[in-house]
Amino acid sequence: MKQRKRFNITTRYVLIVGLLLLAANIILGIIDFRRSTQTIKALINKDMLDLANTAAALINGDELGALTEDDVGSDVFNGILERLSAFQNHADIHFIYAIRQTGERQFVFTVDADPDDPGDFGEEVVVTDGMVAAGAGTPSVDDEPFADRWGNYYSAYSPVFDSSGKVAGVIGVDFDADWYEEQVKMNTISITFTSLLSMLGIALVVFLITRSLQSRFHELNTGLSELSKDVDKLTMEIGSISGGLPDSSTDEDVEDELEEIRGKIDRTQTNLRMYLDYLQTQAYVDAMTKVRSSRAYHEKLSEIGTKIENGTADFSVAVFDINSLKEINDQYGHEYGDQIIVAAANAISSAFGVNNTYRIGGDEYVAFMENTDEAAMAEKMKQVDTAVAAYNASEEKSGVFLAVSKGASSFIPGQDTSFKEVFSRADKIMYNDKTAYYQTYADRRRNQRFIDGKT
C-alpha cells in the first residue's frame, strides 16, 4: 500500500507541473499578444515611412520649392507629377502628393497625383502631427487616422530638402485606414492562432503523458498487489520469510517514466523553437520570388549604416525596376505579371546571388556586392542583361517580353556619408535608363507587339 501511495503522489506532481506549464504559456501568450500588436503596427509604420522616403528621394528639392501657381502645367510641374504618378502606380499606396508649409500648422497642396480628384495648388490640407514633424525635417507617420474629403487615412510624410539643406516641401503618402486596421487585425489573429496552437499542443502532450502515467502506474500497482499477495501466502506457508519487495525495480520504473515526461517536454520546446525559427526565416524571404524580402533589406541598410559610421564600408548597390509591368497586368492579368516579376528576380539573382538580391517593392529590386568596384558591378549588370535576353529567347517564358531598367553605384569613401547618397546615384541612373528605354521604344507601353515579345 505504501508503494501505491507513492505512485499517486507522483501522478499529482506531474499534473501540477503540467498545469504550471499551461498557466505560464497562457501568461506569456497574453504578453506576446500585446507586444505583437505593437510590433506589427511598428513594422507597418516602418514600411509606410520607407515608401514615403523612397518617393521623396525621387523629387528635386530646388524644383519643388520654386513651384508657384503659375507653374501648374509647366514642364517642371509635370515632371514632378509624372514621378509621383509613376510611384503611385508601382507602390501599394492610395494617394501620393507634395505639400508645402505656409504656417505653424498650415500646409497646402503643390502637386497632387490623384488622377480623379486632385487637390488644387494652394488648397489647404488637413494638418496632422506627422505632417508638422516632416515640415520640420523629420520623416514621420501618423499614429491615428485622419479624415478629409477624400476619405479616412493613415499617412506617412517625408521632407524634401533643397540644395541649401532647407525643407522645400513634404511628400505625403496615404494608406486607407480600413486597410491599415485590417493588416493589424489579420496579423494579430495569425499570431494569436499560432499561440493558441502552441498552448493546445502543450496541453495535448501533458494530457497524453498523464494518461500514460496513470495507465502504467495502474498496471504496476495491480502487479505489485498480486505479488504482495503471493509473498504473504508464501510467508504464511514457510513461516521463515517476512515478506517484502525490493524497491529498486519500481523506483527504476518511476524514474524512467519521469525521464519520458521530461524528454517529451524538451522535444515539444525544441519543436516550438524550430517552428519560431522557421517563421523568422520566412519573414526574410520573399514568398513569390525566393530572393530576400523588404524586411531583410532594411536590416541590410542598418548593417551598412553601421559600417559607414565606423569607416569600414566597401560596397556597391544596384537598383532595378521592371518596365511596363502595369500594362502587362492590365492587358493580360496579374498571372502574367507575376511570371515577369519572378523572371526578373531570377535574372538579377543569377548575377548577384539570391542572398544579395532584395525585392523592395512590387517590381523593384536592389542588389548589393561587398568589396566590389564599379567595373565589377558593370560586369554584373551585363550578366543581368544576358539572363534577361536568355529568358526572352526561351521557350519556357510566358510569352510576355521582359525589360528591366537598372542603375548601379559604388560607395565613395571620404565623399559619401550615408547609404542614401549611394542609392540616389544608382536610382537616378536607373530612371535615366528607364527614360531612355521608353524614348527608344515609345510604342511599347501600348503596342501589342511588345506584349508578345516581338520587336
Return the closest-CA partner of residue 341 out of 356, 354, 328: 328
271-284: string of b/e by CB count within 10 Å (b at 16+)?
Answer: ebeeeeeeeeeeee
DSSP 304-336: HHHHHHHT---EEEEEEEETTHHHHHHHH-HHH
pTM tops 0.85, yes or no:
no
- C-beta of residue 383 within 8 angstroms of C-beta of residue 350: yes
Return the closest-CA partner of residue 373 out of 317, 420, 433, 414: 317
Query: CA–CA separation, 70 vs 72, rounded Å?
Result: 6
Query: CA–CA separation, 428 vs 261, rounded Å?
Result: 62
Q: Which residue has the cell 501589342?
A: 448
Helix, strand, coil share of the chain (percent; to 5):
60, 15, 20
Instruction: Report the greatest alpha carbon distance in the chain.
Output: 122
What domains does the chain contain, in order, with CATH numbers?
Answer: 41-181 (3.30.450.20), 294-451 (3.30.70.270)
> Residue 199 has which C-alpha cell?
498552448
Query: CA–CA separation, 247 vs 40, rounded Å?
Result: 57
Query: How many residues comprise the chain?
Result: 455
Phi, psi of 335 (to 5 degrees): -60, -45
- C-beta of residue 67 within 8 angstroms of C-beta of residue 99: no
User: What integer pLDDT is reported at residue 274 of this predicted model?
Assistant: 57
> Residue 127 has which C-alpha cell?
494638418
> Residue 54 has which C-alpha cell?
523612397
Task: Spell out the per-residue pLDDT of the chain, length 455, in tens.
Answer: 444 444 455 556 666 766 777 677 677 667 766 676 677 777 778 888 888 898 889 899 999 999 999 999 999 999 999 999 888 888 778 889 999 999 989 999 999 988 888 989 999 999 999 899 999 999 999 888 888 888 888 889 999 999 999 999 999 998 887 877 777 777 667 767 776 777 677 667 767 776 676 666 566 656 655 655 565 565 555 554 444 444 444 444 444 444 544 554 555 555 456 555 556 666 789 989 999 999 999 999 999 999 999 999 999 999 999 999 998 999 888 899 999 999 999 999 999 999 999 999 889 999 999 998 889 999 999 999 999 999 999 866 777 889 999 999 999 999 999 999 999 999 999 999 999 998 887 655 544 444 444 44
Long-range contacts, stretch 114-119, CB < 8 angstroms, 24+ apart: 114/150, 115/85, 117/150
Query: CA–CA separation, 386 vs 378, rounded Å?
Result: 12
Return the closest-CA partner of residue 133 out of 152, 158, 97, 108: 158
Phi, psi of 244 (to 5 degrees): 135, 160
> Residue 66 has which C-alpha cell?
520654386
Distant-in-sequence, close-in-space partners of 355: CB < 8 Å, separation ≥ 6: 292
204-216: string of b/e by CB count within 10 Å (b at 16+)?
Answer: ebbeebbeebeeb
Query: CA–CA separation, 101 vs 168, rounded Å?
Result: 9
User: What integer pLDDT is reported at residue 159 of this predicted model?
Assistant: 94
Distant-in-sequence, close-in-space partners of 91: CB < 8 Å, separation ≥ 6: 51, 54, 55, 173, 361, 362
- C-beta of residue 158 within 8 angstroms of C-beta of residue 87: no
